[in-house]
């Protein structure tokens, strides 16, 4: 009987503390024994309340501060695509309330997906906002319940103290004291061990922080249902998601093609690399372009003057000197014959007509001789000018690096300019004997940048192996790739994936969704508007753009595909 009384006294703190009601961090109070809880859908945060709503098209997140009746209210509404989490821009929003249809709302778009609502609530009570979204993606009507007017913000309790109860510790100390007394007076020697065991058990069960068995049965604990169970949740405010462009994609079973991996290098395509060389020695007199400039085929890039030998220079100088003397002599003869002709014309009435005609003939002959000499001088100058050479672009493209300036001397055969056209490039891949079977027409080939797995493009097989690499005895296969944005550069190392024509139905995720934490591959799943969960996954092969998931995540979840790094940083810093 005494042992029974002692055991009951030790369990007394447990029985009494189980009757206590607990208040949670979200402001929701749960009573014991399954009594109906007084809940509110507006979750108080540090400086605002939050209400969520969603449909199969749109996801709504409403932020609002403390609201009071009769005062102007400013609420912020975030509208995102339900599947991709992309902000919905330029949507038409029509808002009304069930409780008072007379309330009007003024809507103003602040940023893509972010709208400010202005209104005045006449009473302090809970309202339900009916929000009609009109957008090219489709129209929808979504209700936001529990917009509480007149409710005060509450400070969040310290993490880990949600279920703490100081009175439970008082009961525990009381039970401990009773147990010690019972052990001294009743246990003595024979029952001391049993009494100590019972005492420690009662102390363990009555400690609030060590008692998971008596948590409320209707509350979810641990990872969300359907998750991996390996990670923990990350809270990301909606405004932060929009700022960092955090996007998602539904996980579903789809067709997956296995791939064979090869390695290659980007090389210029035919007509993709033009080189301008000096045809002979000379001096650059003009440069018309700059590094990085886009030019067209046939455009003049620079002008150079051909170098002339000493003997040629002497001949040209001597020739020019003789022509100059002849030209001056001809000019003097023209002047003298013109003076004689003018004199005779002034006395034409008394002068003989024969003399006038002779003077006019002499003048015309002198003019003809002067014109002949001038034409010879022009020809000589043209011959000298013909030594000027225009350097033109052989192809259209972008000018590479050069260091030429006007006045620079160049040698015959010297490379002066390079013009690169990256709109189309070749990929030279190394293929070993065991992979030759997959290199055949009709297969699909993908090229991925070796330093950035998220940049990929489809390529076409244009030439089977014609030569061998003597270093490793691999075969050289040539592919052609369209590269309109110039993402792939000449000389860049790439990975080539040869996809199998047969496909299987399996779960895959984009390569951009994968990250690494603690040496393990992981993804982030989106469970609600502002909540993400880390999930470790077991991956299989990838086809250059998507990776096979063998274990870790189920279907019907949404995985983060863009902004993974930002979510990871939030996870590591929390």
Phi-psi category of 181—alpha, beta or left, where left has phi over 0 and alpha has psi -120 to 50? alpha
Four-residue CA torsion sign, 412, 415, 418, 424: positive
**CATH code for 29-148?**
2.60.40
What is residue 548's three-state secondary structure?
A: strand
Q: Could you count the other beta carbons within 10 Å of the beta carbon of residue 252?
A: 11
What is residue 57's three-state secondary structure?
A: coil
Pseudo-torsion of CA 313, 318, 321, 322, nearest 10°?
A: -150
Q: How confident is the model at residue 474 (pLDDT cuts 50, 70, 90)?
A: confident
Instruction: Give residue limits of the domains in the chain.
Output: 2-20+165-214, 29-148, 222-256+503-574, 273-308+388-420, 310-385
Please give the CATH architecture assigned to the domain spanning 273-308+388-420.
Beta Barrel (2.40)
Lowest mean pLDDT among 167-176, 250-259, 270-279, 417-426: 167-176
Q: Could you count the other beta carbons within 10 Å of the beta carbon of residue 311?
A: 8
Q: How confident is the model at residue 388 (pLDDT cuts 50, 70, 90)?
A: confident
The pLDDT of residue 225 is: 41
Q: Is the pLDDT of residue 33 over 50?
A: no
Residue from 27, 24, 62, 23 nearest 154 by CA: 27
Q: Is the pLDDT of residue 211 over 60?
A: no
Interval 480-518: pLDDT, tens: 888 888 888 888 888 888 777 666 677 888 888 999 998
CATH of 222-256+503-574, one of 3.30.565.10, 2.40.420.20, 3.40.50.300, 1.10.3720.10: 2.40.420.20
Whether 70 and 106 have beta carbons less than 8 Å apart is answered as: no
Measure the CA–CA gap between 42 and 144, rounded to whole angstroms. Answer: 10
**CATH code for 310-385?**
1.10.287
The pLDDT of residue 184 is: 52
Measure the CA–CA gap between 355 and 198, rounded to whole angstroms. Answer: 158
How would DSSP label each residue in 146-185?
EEESSPPP-PPPPTT-TT--HHHHHHHHHHHHHHHHHIII
Phi-psi category of 34—alpha, beta or left, where left has phi over 0 and alpha has psi -120 to 50? left
Q: How confident is the model at residue 541 (pLDDT cuts 50, 70, 90)?
A: confident
Q: In DSSP terms, which residues pair with 248 in a beta bridge?
A: 560
What is residue 190's three-state secondary structure?
A: coil
Whether 219 and 32 have beta carbons less than 8 Å apart is answered as: no
Interval 172-186: pLDDT, tens: 565 556 555 555 554
Beta strand ranges found along 55-162 (DSSP E): 58-64, 72-81, 92-97, 106-111, 114-120, 126-134, 140-148
Top pLDDT among 306 and 92 is at: 92
Residue 154 token pair: 């509450």
Percent of the chain at pLDDT exceeding 70 = 69
Q: What are phi and psi of 467, to 5 degrees?
A: -135, 165
The pLDDT of residue 563 is: 93
Four-residue CA torsion sign, 218, 221, 227, 233: positive
How many Cα atoms occupy the beta-carbon half-sphere of 43 within 13 Å?
11
Measure the CA–CA gap between 509 and 522, rounded to whole angstroms. Answer: 11
Lowest mean pLDDT among 65-74, 248-257, 291-300: 248-257
Residue 384 token pair: 């000298």
Q: Is the pLDDT of residue 330 over 60?
A: yes
Q: How confident is the model at residue 550 (pLDDT cuts 50, 70, 90)?
A: confident
Q: Calculate mean pLDDT across residues 526-531.
A: 91
Interval 96-147: pLDDT, tens: 998 999 999 999 999 999 999 999 999 999 999 999 999 999 999 999 999 9
Distances (CA, A) of 54 to 6, 94, 547: 56, 16, 30
Element (H, E) at 353: helix 353-385
The pLDDT of residue 450 is: 66
Q: How confident is the model at residue 370 (pLDDT cuts 50, 70, 90)?
A: confident
Q: Is the pLDDT of residue 401 over 70?
A: yes
The pLDDT of residue 130 is: 95
Distance of CA 399 to the CA centre of its chain: 28
Whether 495 and 448 have beta carbons less than 8 Å apart is answered as: yes
Q: Is the pLDDT of residue 20 over 60?
A: no
């Amino acid at each position: 009987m005494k042992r029974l009384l002692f055991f009951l006294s030790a369990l007394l703190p447990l029985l009494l503390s189980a009757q206590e009601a607990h208040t949670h961090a979200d402001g929701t109070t749960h009573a014991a024994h399954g009594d109906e809880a007084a809940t509110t859908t507006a979750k108080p945060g540090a400086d605002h309340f939050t209400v969520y709503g969603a449909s199969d098209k749109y996801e709504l997140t409403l932020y609002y501060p403390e609201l009071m009746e009769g005062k102007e209210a400013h609420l912020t509404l975030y509208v995102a695509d339900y599947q991709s989490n992309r902000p919905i821009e330029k949507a038409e929003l029509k808002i009304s309330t069930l409780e008072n249809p007379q309330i009007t709302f003024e809507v103003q778009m602040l940023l893509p997906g972010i709208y400010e609502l202005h209104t005045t609530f006449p009473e302090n009570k809970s309202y339900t906002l009916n929000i009609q979204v009109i957008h090219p993606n489709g129209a929808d009507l979504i209700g936001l319940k529990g917009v509480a007017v007149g409710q005060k913000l509450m400070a969040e309790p310290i993490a880990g103290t949600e279920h703490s109860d100081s009175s439970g510790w008082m009961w525990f100390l009381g039970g401990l004291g009773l147990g010690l007394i019972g052990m001294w007076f009743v246990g003595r020697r024979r029952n001391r061990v049993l009494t100590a065991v019972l005492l420690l058990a009662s102390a363990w069960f009555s400690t609030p922080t060590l008692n998971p068995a008596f948590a409320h049965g209707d509350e979810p604990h641990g990872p969300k249902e359907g998750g991996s169970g390996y990670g923990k949740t990350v809270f990301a405010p909606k405004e932060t998601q929009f700022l960092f462009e955090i996007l998602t994609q539904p996980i579903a079973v789809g067709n997956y093609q296995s791939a064979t991996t090869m390695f290659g290098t980007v090389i210029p395509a035919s007509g993709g690399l033009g080189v301008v060389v000096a045809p002979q020695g000379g001096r650059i007199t003009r440069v018309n372009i700059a590094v990085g400039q886009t030019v067209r085929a046939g455009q003049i890039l620079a002008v150079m003057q051909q170098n002339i030998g000493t003997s040629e220079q002497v001949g040209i100088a001597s020739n020019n000197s003789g022509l100059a003397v002849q030209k001056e002599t001809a000019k003097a003869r023209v002047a003298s014959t013109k003076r004689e002709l003018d004199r005779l014309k002034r006395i034409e009435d008394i002068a003989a007509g024969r003399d006038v005609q002779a003077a006019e003939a002499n003048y015309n002959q002198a003019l003809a001789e002067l014109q002949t000499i001038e034409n010879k001088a022009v020809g000589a100058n043209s011959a000298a000018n013909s030594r000027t050479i225009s350097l033109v672009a052989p192809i259209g493209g972008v000018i590479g690096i050069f260091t030429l300036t006007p006045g620079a001397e160049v040698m015959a055969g010297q490379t002066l300019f390079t013009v690169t056209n990256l709109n189309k490039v070749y990929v030279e891949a190394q293929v070993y004997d065991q992979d030759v079977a997959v290199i055949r027409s009709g297969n699909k080939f993908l090229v991925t940048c070796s330093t950035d797995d998220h940049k990929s493009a489809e390529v076409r097989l244009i030439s089977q192996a014609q030569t061998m690499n003597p270093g490793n005895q691999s075969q050289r296969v040539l592919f052609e790739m369209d590269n309109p944005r110039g993402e792939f550069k000449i000389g860049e190392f790439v990975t080539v994936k040869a996809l199998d024509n047969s496909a299987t139905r399996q779960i895959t995720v984009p390569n951009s969704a994968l990250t690494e934490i603690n040496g393990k591959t992981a993804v982030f799943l989106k469970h609600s508007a502002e909540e993400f969960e880390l999930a470790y996954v077991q991956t299989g092969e990838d086809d250059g753009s998507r990776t096979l998931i063998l274990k870790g995540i189920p279907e019907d979840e949404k995985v983060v595909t863009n902004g993974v790094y930002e979510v990871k940083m939030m996870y590591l810093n929390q």
